[in-house]
Each structure stands twice: as structure tokens, then as C-alpha cells.
């Protein structure tokens, strides 16, 4: 009899917990129903165009042929994944991907922070707006135009070679874009130039929320402008910096695509071939759609693992996290 009562009590407790849980969700939904109504269209868009297409990842496990349903194609399992990891090009591809992404994070990540701090310290509003506008422009320029600019500057008869020859620094033109040892530096500079202004907007927005009284108190305590940057500005935007760093590390395998195809050539293939261009080469150009999908899926899985790992570490050590 006691056993039956205990079971009944447990069921009653579980049902009450479930009711309280659903009541809490219902209460929160009713309280924020206007926000849900506003975002419902975007949620539907994300579900239709971001989540439903994920079913296409099944191509990575099949010998897919255009015109046939995924479910009617031959199942190959992990064949393409094993083939990718054992491919002779795999070490070179990973080296290039990690090297280009690592350089972008090492030099490209702090660049917009430095630019935002410098702009935040400018007191002349007109000059500040002009610099901001000029720094934003490269973001809206396509990589086709950027590649043309790079060829104009770094070509055999480009501006840089003409200047160096005129100054007597070199005896003959250097073909920068056709020598692999220069490619990583060139692509890093191009990426920074194109994104630094646009990326600084987030940090400038974070700085605009800093209370002016903190700066006034710092001035009273004798902090100079550099001291205010170190002790007020940077600590105030630290959460923003950490969150964006987590996202950047999570996308470390996204080393680029258009810029490699436009600036790279056969002479620099050993330095520009990254995961995305490799997947495009085999998946689209050679019609091996299953293999290309497998390569892309590997990159996506590793990126997800990196995001969760770095997010967990940041939450544990700094009490800052994305989720």
C-alpha cells in the first residue's frame, strides 16, 4: 500500500513540475508576445532557409547524382570522410586553412579594436565621421574589384614595383602574386583592409555605452588618455571582445573562398588551396557532389565543436559566454 502511495506521489510531483514548467513558458510567452509576433516572420525564414536545407547533408553519405532523389542514391556511409582525411592534399589544405585563418585572427581581430579606440579618442566630430566613412567603404567593394586593385599594385609593372625600382631598392620587378611565399601576407592584408572599418562599428557601439562619469572620475584620479583606454575603455568592452573572439575562433576553418580563387593561380596553389576551394574543386567542378558535401560537413562539425569548446572555456574562466 505504501509503495502504491509513493508511486502516486511521484507521479503527482512530476505532473505538478510539468504543469509549472509549461505555465512558466506560457507566462513568459504572454509577457513577450509582441516580440514573438514581430520575430515570427524571421523565425519562419530561418527555419525554411537554414534548417530544412540541413537535410541535404545526407548527400555526404551517398553517391549522389543530379536528377535523383537523395534517398534513391547508393549509400556509401563514411567513405568520403575517410577519403578526405587520407587524401595526399589533406595536410597541405589544413596547413593553408589554419595559417590564413590564424593570421586573420592574430592581426585582423585586434585591428578593428585599435581603429575603434583611435576613433573614439578623436574629438573633432567632422574628421571622425570622414575617417569612419572612408574606413567603411572597402567592405562594400566586391572581391573582384579588390583583386583588380591588388594586381594593379603588386603586378609585374605595378605601382609597388615601380616605386621600389625608382628608389633603387630592387634591381628587377618582383612578381608578388605569382610567388607562394608572399601569398599569405597579401591575403591577410587584403582581408584586414576590407573588413577593419566595418568590424569597428560593433566596438564603437559598445564604447558609446560607457558612462562618461567613469572618464570624469579617471581624470580626477590623474589618468591620462592612455590610462583611460587601459583601465576604462578596454575593460568596459571586454565582454564584446570575448564574444566576437569566440565566434571568430569558431569560424577558424572559414579561411575564405573568393579571394583565393581571384588572387591565386597555379604557381601559388600550394599556398592558397583551403577547405572551401578544395570542396568547390571536387564537389562542383568535378561533379563529386557527395565528396564535396562531406568536406563541407567536416568543416561545419569542427566549427561547432570549436564554438562550444571556446564558449565553455570563456564561461568558466571569464564568466562570459555566447549562450
Closest to 270 in 3D by CA, of 99, 21, 85: 99
Residues 89, 82: Cα–Cα separation, whole Å: 13
Give all strands (DSSP E) within the chain, no chain letters.
62-63, 74-75
Least confident of 12-21, 61-70, 111-120: 12-21
| Tens digits of residue pLDDT in 41-74 | 888 999 998 888 888 888 889 888 887 878 888 8
Q: Where are the domains of the chain?
A: 3-72, 79-318
Closest to 191 in 3D by CA, of 254, 128, 249: 254
| Tens digits of residue pLDDT in 79-104 | 999 999 999 999 999 999 999 999 99
Give the per-residue pLDDT at 140.
92
Give the per-residue pLDDT at 117.
92
C-alpha separations of 250 from 206, 294, 300 in Å: 22, 19, 9
Give the per-residue pLDDT at 266.
87
Residues 48, 113: Cα–Cα separation, whole Å: 36
C-alpha cell at 203: 566596438
C-alpha separations of 3 from 6, 7, 11 in Å: 5, 6, 12
Residues 67, 207: Cα–Cα separation, whole Å: 53
C-alpha cell at 9: 506521489
Q: What's the pLDDT band for 15 if we cut at 50, 70, 90?
A: low
Percent of the chain at pLDDT exceeding 70: 93
Mean pLDDT of all residues belonging to the chain: 85
Give the per-residue pLDDT at 143.
92
| Segment 13-18 long-range contacts (CB within 8 Å, at least 24 positions apart) | none
pLDDT exceeds 90 at position 243: no
Give the per-residue pLDDT at 6.
52
| Tens digits of residue pLDDT in 186-226 | 999 999 999 999 999 999 999 988 888 888 888 888 888 88
- Is 306:250 a contact under the CB 8 Å cutoff? yes
Give the per-residue pLDDT at 14.
47
Percent of the chain at pLDDT exceeding 90: 28
pLDDT exceeds 70 at position 19: no
pLDDT exceeds 70 at position 157: yes
| Tens digits of residue pLDDT in 269-319 | 889 999 999 999 888 888 888 899 999 899 988 888 888 888 888 888 777
Give the per-residue pLDDT at 5.
44
Residues 92, 154: Cα–Cα separation, whole Å: 25
Q: What's the pLDDT band for 114 if we cut at 50, 70, 90?
A: very high
> What 3-state class would DSSP assign to 269?
helix
Give the CATH class of 79-318. mainly alpha
Amino acid at each position: 500500500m505504501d509503495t502504491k502511495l509513493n508511486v502516486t506521489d511521484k507521479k503527482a510531483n512530476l505532473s505538478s513540475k510539468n504543469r509549472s514548467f509549461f505555465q512558466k513558458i506560457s507566462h513568459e510567452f504572454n509577457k513577450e508576445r509582441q516580440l514573438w509576433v514581430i520575430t515570427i516572420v524571421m523565425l519562419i525564414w530561418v527555419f525554411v532557409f537554414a534548417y530544412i536545407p540541413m537535410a541535404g547533408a545526407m548527400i555526404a553519405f551517398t553517391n549522389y547524382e543530379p536528377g535523383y532523389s537523395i534517398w534513391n542514391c547508393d549509400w556509401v556511409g563514411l567513405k568520403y570522410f575517410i577519403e578526405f582525411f587520407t587524401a595526399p592534399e589533406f595536410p597541405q589544405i589544413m596547413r593553408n586553412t589554419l595559417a590564413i585563418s590564424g593570421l586573420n585572427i592574430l592581426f585582423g581581430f585586434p585591428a578593428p579594436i585599435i581603429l575603434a579606440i583611435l576613433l573614439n579618442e578623436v574629438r573633432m566630430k567632422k574628421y571622425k565621421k570622414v575617417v569612419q566613412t572612408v574606413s567603411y567603404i572597402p567592405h562594400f567593394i566586391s572581391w573582384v574589384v579588390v583583386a583588380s586593385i591588388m594586381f594593379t599594385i603588386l603586378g609585374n609593372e605595378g605601382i609597388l614595383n615601380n616605386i621600389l625600382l625608382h628608389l633603387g631598392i630592387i634591381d628587377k620587378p618582383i612578381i608578388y602574386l605569382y610567388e607562394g611565399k608572399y601569398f599569405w601576407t597579401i591575403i591577410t592584408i587584403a582581408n584586414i583592409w576590407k573588413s577593419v572599418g566595418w568590424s569597428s562599428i560593433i566596438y564603437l557601439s559598445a564604447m558609446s555605452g560607457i558612462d562618461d562619469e567613469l572618464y570624469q572620475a579617471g581624470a580626477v584620479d590623474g589618468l591620462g588618455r592612455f590610462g583611460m583606454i587601459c583601465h576604462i575603455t578596454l575593460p568596459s568592452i571586454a565582454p564584446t571582445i570575448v564574444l566576437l573572439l569566440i565566434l571568430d575562433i569558431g569560424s577558424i576553418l572559414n579561411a575564405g573562398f573568393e579571394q583565393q580563387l581571384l588572387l591565386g593561380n597555379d604557381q601559388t596553389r600550394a599556398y592558397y588551396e583551403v577547405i572551401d576551394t578544395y570542396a568547390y574543386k571536387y564537389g562542383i567542378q568535378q561533379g563529386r557532389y557527395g565528396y564535396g558535401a562531406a568536406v563541407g560537413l567536416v568543416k561545419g562539425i569542427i566549427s561547432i565543436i570549436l564554438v562550444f569548446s571556446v564558449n565553455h572555456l570563456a564561461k568558466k574562466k571569464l564568466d562570459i559566454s555566447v549562450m
